[in-house]
Amino acid sequence: MRQSGAHSMFFVAIICPPSVDKKVLQYKRLMKEQFGCIVALKSPAHITLIPPFWLEDEREKALVDTLQLFSSDIDTLEIHLNGFSHFGKRVLFVKVNENPALEEVKKQVENHFSKVFNDVFKKGDRTFHPHVTIANRDIKPSDFLTAWEYFSKKEFNEIFPGITISLLKLSSGQWNIIGEKTW
């Protein structure tokens, strides 16, 4: 919920490495060219750990400081992207293989940030379904089947380490990384 005063939107994620981002970007651009989808182009390829939330601008430094204090007891986290899927007819994405370590990191991140920012966001009520978005919200239901027919026949297979979390801020319509923490 937005309150009075200047606010910005933020989220916490694991950003895909540049080589993976480049491959995902090709699919995002295809969705823009073929179907006019632009929302997913506003952020680098990522796996969301804490979804977008509003925060007063004067608390941004505390948010960045909280990120820098994060630590995890998960020594190695290997993320395996494998194929494509969708949520209903509104979201197309690259699938992330089931990964108990990733689920534990998400819980640790939520617990860490909620200690300082429990007034801003609540721990996720929904089941964690990690994914890397190709198109969301702005794909027309009438275009979905055509797009899904294309993606359902494509392969995508990448593995990368996920030991860095990033804090992103929405600025001028783009999500920009404003802080990172490797553990």
Which residue in 159, 20, 148 sits closest to 85, CA to CA?
148
User: 164 near 71, Cβ under 8 Å?
Assistant: no
SS3 at position 146: helix
User: 135 near 143, Cβ under 8 Å?
Assistant: no
The reply to whether 2 falls in a domain is no
Number of domains in the chain: 1
CA distance 61 to 88: 37
The reply to whether 1 falls in a domain is no
The DSSP string of 20-58 is HHHHHHHHHHHHHHHH---GGGGS-SEEEEEEEEEEEGG
CA distance 73 to 50: 19
Spatial neighbors of 111 by CB under 8 A, at least 6 apart, are 123
Round the CA-based radius of gyration of the chain to a whole number and report it.
17
The reply to whether 99 falls in a domain is yes
Q: What CATH number corresponds to the domain at position 19?
A: 3.90.1140.10
The reply to whether 158 falls in a domain is yes
DSSP state of 59: G
Domain span at residue 147 reads: 7-182
CA distance 10 to 28: 21
What are the distances in angstroms from CA 37 to CA 11, 31, 131, 143? 21, 5, 18, 10
User: Any idea how long the chain is?
Assistant: 183
The reply to whether 141 falls in a domain is yes
> Could you list the mean pLDDT of each consecutive 10-residue stretch along the chain, which spans 183 residues?
76 98 98 97 97 96 98 94 96 97 96 92 78 95 95 98 96 97 94
